Amino acid sequence: MRRRIERALDKVRPALRADGGDARIVECDEASGNVSIEMLGACGGCPLSQLDFVYAIEALIRREVPEVRDIVAV
């Protein structure tokens, strides 16, 4: 599951990195399906990062890895 989430993140990383940011998996619990993602760099302090998180990262992970139950930004 973690590898598939990383591949999903790799699809949005070029856009995040173009703005000086990135995202990383902090925790991935396969048993519960819970995932924690941290926004890094410029994305970490950007007020719009929550929109990026919900509409790009979370949506993509849910589409690519349907067994994920909960995705939290930390």
pLDDT digits 0-9 by tens, 32-49? 999 999 999 988 888 888
Between CA 20 and CA 5 the distance in angstroms is: 21
Total domains in the chain come to: 1
For 35, the domain range is: 2-73
pTM of the model: 0.90
The average pLDDT across 60-64 equals 95
pLDDT for 64: 95
CATH number of 38's domain = 3.30.300.130
- Which residues touch 3 (CB under 8 Å, ≥6 apart)? none
